[in-house]
Amino acid sequence: MSLSFPETLSLFDRYVIPNYKRYPVSLVRGEGPYVWDSEGNRYIDFFPGWGCNLFGHCPPKVVEAVRQQLGRLIHVPNSWYTEEQGLWAKLLSERSFGGKAFFCNSGTEANEAAIKLTRLHTDPGKYKIITFMRSFHGRTMGSVSATGQAKYHEGIEPLLPGFVYAPYGDLDAVKEAVDSETAGIMVEPIQGEGGVRIPPEGFLQGLRDLCDENNMLLIFDEVQTGCGRTGNWFAYQHFGVEPDVMTLAKTICSGIAAGAMLTKPEIAPSLRPGMHAATFGGNPIAAAAGIATIKMVEEEGLLEKATQMGAHFRTRLEEMRREIDIIRDIRIVGAMIGIELQVEGGKFVQGCMEEKLLINCTQGNVIRLLPASNTPLELVDTALDILESQLRKG
Ligand SMILES: *Cc1c(COP(=O)(O)O)cnc(C)c1O
């Protein structure tokens, strides 16, 4: 395959539903922090795979594990056991809160499972789930109903009933929203798409206490923050607050499609046989990629590397903030970086792309970077030089 960009574009114009805003670039190959387009340009990718590609593109250990698995067993449904799925669940469980896993194929699906489990597990009559403004939980009807952003609801109402949106970080508002029908609270321990927002001190613990007092489940959506992105295995570990249910996707397989929900062992039986399923969930390819991802994080010390990377970003970005007026706030946890601007950020994404650096802007004015956690710090500097020269243009 070696189509020119105009040839690929004409295929999309004719045959692909235009539900995404796409940059006029067709990507053909990736390696570590770099990705190449059909015209031979090389880019530094600081938003690889929307944050899925934890080690950038095509990490050799994951590629090799998947290659071997492909030749052994591609897919068998969940009416049988596979050792790969069992081992993957064990590795995730041991690094989190000792729970049990349900596997699926995406973040939104993991959250659907969490919504169903929450309604199944709690007392009859309880069905409401408190979620947060500027949250993002996915696009299927349950998860999009959980998402506290009106722009994603326009035209598709009625939503799934039972979601109540509270301001992120406002514990009093959450307390007020709880009633006898509330089954749980679903929250990103650090909001991602909402603008890399870190909760105020005590907020997550406050949610934990509320759930304990009212027989509700606490669900952490770690689809974006999980599996080492923030310098801990899971973002909740920064705050010392354990959830009852945790959802994962994006990062867990280094870019192979997969999702998972973990829940405490005593809650797990509430998802009874026949109540939930996913044809491809926990398939051997995803499991092989998931196992290889966890091993790679440990063998290469990538939790420490993500932490070091965060510190490096902080030093550089604080310097930039002193000199560049439009930088309003900097929010960093490991390899998850948000730079809030006083102006719209789209033109900086465009400007960086022209300088062969790929970044993201969310919520209109927050530059979001989710670089591979093994990106060499010299390359971080190269990328930040490009970003800085764009931001200096104002
Ligand atoms: C991306 C994301 C989702 C949705 O994941 P999909 O795989 O696109 O369905 C859910 N929650 C969070 C926090 C996310 O960042």
Give the count of beta carbons closer than 10 Å to the beta carbon of residue 269. 12
Q: Which two tokens stand for residue 246?
A: 């945790």
Q: Using a 6 Å cutoff on CB, does residue 246 contact ligand 1?
A: no
Q: How far apart are CA 117 and CA 244, in angstroms?
A: 11
- Could you say which DSSP state residue 56 is in? B
Q: Which helix (H) or strand (E) holds 171?
A: helix 171-177
CA pseudo-torsion sign 94, 95, 97, 99: negative
Nearest CA to ligand 1 atom 11: 137
Residue ranges in 194-331 assigned as alpha helix (H): 203-213, 284-299, 302-323
- The predicted pLDDT at position 25 comes to 96
- Selection from 117, 144, 116 nearest residue 131 by Cα: 144
Domains in the chain: boundaries: 62-299, 308-335
Q: How far apart are CA 189 and CA 246, in angstroms?
A: 10
Q: Using a 6 Å cutoff on CB, does residue 224 contact ligand 1?
A: yes
Q: How far apart are CA 304 and CA 310, in angstroms?
A: 10
- The predicted pLDDT at position 69 comes to 98
Q: Using a 6 Å cutoff on CB, does residue 106 contact ligand 1?
A: yes
> SS3 for 42?
strand
> How does pLDDT run along the chain (394 residues), one tens digit per residue?
689 999 999 999 999 999 999 999 999 999 999 999 999 999 999 999 999 999 999 999 999 999 999 999 999 999 999 999 999 999 999 999 999 999 999 999 999 999 999 999 999 999 999 999 999 999 999 999 999 999 999 999 999 999 999 999 999 999 999 999 999 999 999 999 999 999 999 999 999 999 999 999 999 999 999 999 999 999 999 999 999 999 999 999 999 999 999 999 999 999 999 999 999 999 999 999 999 999 999 999 999 999 999 999 999 999 999 999 999 999 999 999 999 999 999 999 999 999 999 999 999 999 999 999 999 999 999 999 999 999 999 8
The Å distance, Cα 146 to ligand 1 centre, comes to 12
Active-site residues, by number, are: 136, 221, 250
The Å distance, Cα 222 to ligand 1 centre, comes to 9
Q: Using a 6 Å cutoff on CB, does residue 192 contact ligand 1?
A: yes
- Give the mutation target among 137, 147, 225 for probing the ligand 1 site: most ligand atoms within 8 A of CB: 137
- The predicted pLDDT at position 394 comes to 86
- Give the mutation target among 224, 253, 362, 368 for probing the ligand 1 site: most ligand atoms within 8 A of CB: 224
At residue 219, what are phi and psi to the nearest 5 degrees? Answer: -110, 125
Would you tell me the crossing angle of helices 60-72 and 284-299 to the nearest 10 degrees?
150
Q: Which two tokens stand for residue 209?
A: 């206490």
Span between the terminal Cα atoms of the chain, in Å: 40
The Å distance, Cα 169 to ligand 1 centre, comes to 20
The Å distance, Cα 223 to ligand 1 centre, comes to 6
- Selection from 17, 79, 105, 52 nearest residue 285 by Cα: 105
Say which CATH architecture domain 62-299 belongs to: 3-Layer(aba) Sandwich (3.40)
Classify burial at 323, counting beta carbons within 10 Å of its beta carbon; exposed 0-12, middle 13-18, buried 19 or more.
exposed
Q: Which helix (H) or strand (E) holds 385?
A: helix 377-392
The Å distance, Cα 323 to ligand 1 centre, comes to 35
Give the count of beta carbons closer than 10 Å to the beta carbon of residue 103. 26
